[in-house]
Every structure is written in C-alpha cells, then in structure tokens.
Structure 1
Amino acid sequence: MTYDTLLVTVADKVATVTLNRPDLRNAFNEGAIAELARVFDELGRNDAVRAIVLAANGPSFCAGADLNWMKKMAGYSHDENEADAMRLAEMLRTIYLCPKPVVARVQGDCYAGGMGLVAACDIVVASEAAGFCLSEVKLGLIPATISPYVIKAMGEQAARRYFLTAERFDAAEAQRIGVAHAVVAPEALDATVAGIVKALVNNSPHAVRQAKTLVREIVGQPVDDALLRDTAGRIAAIRASTEGREGVASFLEKRKPTWIN
C-alpha cells in the first residue's frame, strides 16, 4: 500500500497509520481524507492486523482542514459543500466502525477536524505537550461533521462549552472530560502506546471485535427485556465460538491460548 499523505507499516500484528504532512501540521485535504478512508477499510479487513495505531509526524497531530482546501471550498455551491462534507463524514465513520481497535497517539496539538479523528478512535493516549481546540466558530463555522464522535467522547456539557468558546485546552483537561484516556510525559508516549497495543493483541481477536461492537450498540439502550435477551444471546454465541471455547480451555489448562504466538 502506498500513500501520498500517510505512512503505513504493519509489524507484529499491529498497523501504524501516520499522518505525514508535518509542514502543514497534518491538516486534511481531499487526498488525505480519501487515503484515511481507504487505509482503515483495508486494515479492517486484513486478518494479519489485530490493532491499529493512528499517529502523526511533526510537532502537530492534526490542525483540522488545510487552508488551501478551505479556500477552494469557499467557492463551492451548497451541493458541492455537502458532498465534500460527506466524504469527511464517511472517513470518520470508517475509523469509528473499523472492526480492529484503534489507538490514537497524540503527540502534539489536535484542532478542529483533528479532534474528530481522535474521537473516532477507541483509545486515546496524549502527550502532556498536546493541546486541543474546537476552533470552528472562530471561522464562522461549526464542528458539525465531527460532532457525533466528539460529543460521545466529551459529553454534552463539555461540548456546550468548547463548541461555543473555541478555547484551547490542555491534555489534562482532555483527560478530565473524556477525550483522552491517558496523558503522559512526551518521553513516555511510545512506551504507553506499546503497552496498550500489547494488551490488545494478546486478547482474542474475535472477542475484541465483538466487545467493540458491544459498547457501540449497547450504550444508551434501555435496560428492558429486549436488551436482556440481546446481551444473553451475545454471550451465548461467543461462549460457543471457536475462540471462546479455546480461551476457556487454555485458562483451565494453564496454557497460552492459540491466538498468542
């Protein structure tokens, strides 16, 4: 796989997708959006990959939209703007629905659409040096396309503040409101991400996929009879699955399961 805006590597069951436009603060344009959608679709279907790390080169993680791209959009019709926004929306959904767990490695500032990227990931590890900002209203815009993921991550109350004020906030605040799972010193970032990825690849691949789906589909559901039947059916199915049977057998027999090799 070759890309113009990304670097992609696969080693030891882990794919690393690196935003690689450091001179432009890894800002989006139509090419970057298309390549991100393609790579996450391909990696999601790659049986050799059990986890994906989304990283970035340079001092910034992602500054949102590329200024040249924004200048071009200024001349678009309503229909052209809508089609353009849909491509970004579909890319974010591809990351969010990727069957493999996705870990964001946030080494630097993450603004606007970059926050949508991070919020679409499953696990977010940020450097203490990183800053965050939903800057759209400063430009007379709103964070509409990224809002489903960002609001899920930070909650309604935090979104009310940061969508409206466009204040920059630090990594500690990002962790407090739920955007980041872990905040570490810059020199500890790689080791922390590696530890999380190791835990992911040592788990049952089928169970990890099903657990990711479980969270997405159960959240917000009423605890009624239908939900009880749904969850009972899910555990019954996975207990009877090949990896479910192997996992229990390996535990009882005090050996490693077959998916660890």
Structure 2
Amino acid sequence: MSDLIRIDRDPRGVATIWLTRADKHNALSAQMMIDLESAAQALGQDDSIRVVVLAAEGRSFCAGGDLAWMRAQFEMDAETQRSESARIATALGALYALPQPLIGRVQGNAFGGGVGLACVCDVTIGAETVKMGLTEVKLGLIPANIGPYVVARLGAVKAAQMFMNGVIFDAAKAVDLGVLTRAVPAEDLDAAVEAEVAPYLACAPGAVRDGKALLRALGGQVTQAQVDRAIDALAKRWQGNEAREGIGAFFDKRPAPWAQ
C-alpha cells in the first residue's frame, strides 16, 4: 500500500481510513483507488474491527477524480479506458461492501468522487463549512461510477436536484438531500463522529454486521448490472469530444465552449 492513505486502529476495534493526499486535495489517483479497495477488503475480513471511519487530512475531503489521471485516458484505447473508468467504481464498491458500519467524517469540500465516498457511508457527518457538488458535467463527463451509490442513498428524486447540473451546495443542502446525515461546527466534528461510533461498541458485533446485511437486502442493494452500466456510460463519454474539450479547458484555465 502506498502513502496515499493510512489506516489507524484503536483498542476498541475502530479503524479509520485516512485519505492522505492533502496537497492534491485528496483527488483520487489510480493508485489511491487501488489502495482504498485493498484497505476496505482487508478491514472487512478482520473480525477484530467493529466500526470503520472514513476521514481525510488537509483542507479538502476529496476533490474527486485526479484530472491528470483523467487526461491521460484520452491516449488510451477503448478497452483500457473502460478498465480505468472502473477503478473508482471498484473502490467505492469495496467500501460499500464493508460488513461493519462505515462512518464518514467530512471535514472539507467534496466534489465528484468525494460525494461518492460520502454516499457509500452508512452515516456521514460533515462540518457546517463544507461545499459539495457533482461537477463532472462541467467537464463534459457524468457522475457515472458514483451514480449507483448516490442514487441508492438519496433516491432518484433528490439525486436529480444535483446529479446533472453541476451545482455547488452547502452543508445544509447536503443534509436536506441526504448526502450528509448531519452537519456540525467544524470544532465539534470529532465529537460528533465519536457519538456515532460509540453506540455500535455496546452492541454484539455479529448482530451489527447481520443487521447491516439485512438492511441492505431490504433497502435494495446496488447491483453489478448497475455498476457495469455506469462504467460503460463513463467510458463512452471519454470517447466523445465534450470530455476532451471540457478537461482541456480546465487545464488551459479558460471557459468550456458550452459555458454561459
């Protein structure tokens, strides 16, 4: 595992996965997504871990996909583009599949894949100062690989309020949509996360795991067919002109041709 994430464990059986690419606003590079998948799989198989917290260092929770990684995909063939497109879906899927409760600690802004990370958590607590948004459409892309998890958490009606318009919203709106469970003053964030973690430690760990599995089954799980469709949809976007124009405009620091 690289130094892009870190796993801390405490004696109670609480593990915290830290995103540690603070200098890049925790943007998701290919290696970072591989590391997240590996971390989630390892923790999921560890019976000594009772609760997992997903957190980030630095000012931002996660700026979404690393744009340099995205730009490199224009030089890839269609099969490789699809494989690269699947990386974030695989990482999110591994976190979503954790048998333990997953608590999100969102201390800073979250965009694109960062919203996806918030949505795979069972409970997500954010600082009142955070801004969030699915900004992919501004780049000529779509929030595809995170889409199944966003819709599973919010439902189609609430997801439609931000899924395809690129709007930036505040913590209060994130709570209203359901991206955040609640928002608290930044100085109270750690206490609020601990307040979510503590009750699980008074419960039978096997019952908690079985309860989560039942909840997922009753609520309608994200299916592999949905994930595959999302991967294909994003790969198709990579093959069109809009993504090339949108990402090129971002790097050139100029408006995209469709921006008004």
TM-score, structure 2 normalization: 0.82
Deviation at 1:87, TM superposition (A): 2.3
Confirm or deny that 1:5 pairs with 2:4: yes
Structure 1 runs of 4+ aligned residues shifted over 4 Å read none
- 2:193 maps to what in 1? 193
Q: Structure 2: how far apart are the matches of 1:167 and 1:87? A: 25
Q: Structure 2: how far apart are the matches of 1:74 and 1:132? A: 27
Q: State how many pairs are aligned.
A: 220
Deviation at 1:54, TM superposition (A): 0.4
- 1:252 maps to what in 2? none
Structure having the higher Rg? 1
Higher-RCO chain (CA-CA 8 Å, sequence separation at least 6): 2
Q: Identity over aligned residues, as a percent?
A: 39
Q: Structure 2: how far apart are the matches of 1:161 and 1:65? A: 21
Q: Structure 2: how far apart are the matches of 1:133 and 1:101? A: 25
Report the more deviating stretch, 78-87 or 16-25. 78-87
Secondary structure of the structure 2 residue equivalent to 1:74: helix
- 1:58 maps to what in 2? 58
Secondary structure of the structure 2 residue equivalent to 1:43: helix
Secondary structure of the structure 1 residue equivalent to 2:53: strand
Q: Structure 2: how far apart are the matches of 1:149 and 1:76? A: 27
Code of the residue aligned with 2:7 in structure 1: it is V
- 2:250 maps to what in 1? none
- 1:231 maps to what in 2? none
Code of the residue aligned with 1:149 in structure 2: it is Y
* Cα root mean square deviation, aligned: 1.3
Contact 2:2 2:31 in 1 (8 A): no
Confirm or deny that 1:67 pairs with 2:71: no
Q: Structure 2: how far apart are the matches of 1:182 and 1:203? A: 23
Contact 1:132 1:174 in 2 (8 A): yes
Q: How does 1:14-163 map to 2 (within 5 A)?
A: 14-163=14-163
After superposition, give the CA deviation of every residue in 1:50-83 in whole Å (9 maximum; x if it has no partner): 0010000001000001122112112222211111
Code of the residue aligned with 2:13 in structure 1: it is K
Deviation at 1:160, TM superposition (A): 1.8
Confirm or deny that 1:218 pairs with 2:218: yes
Deviation at 1:220, TM superposition (A): 4.9
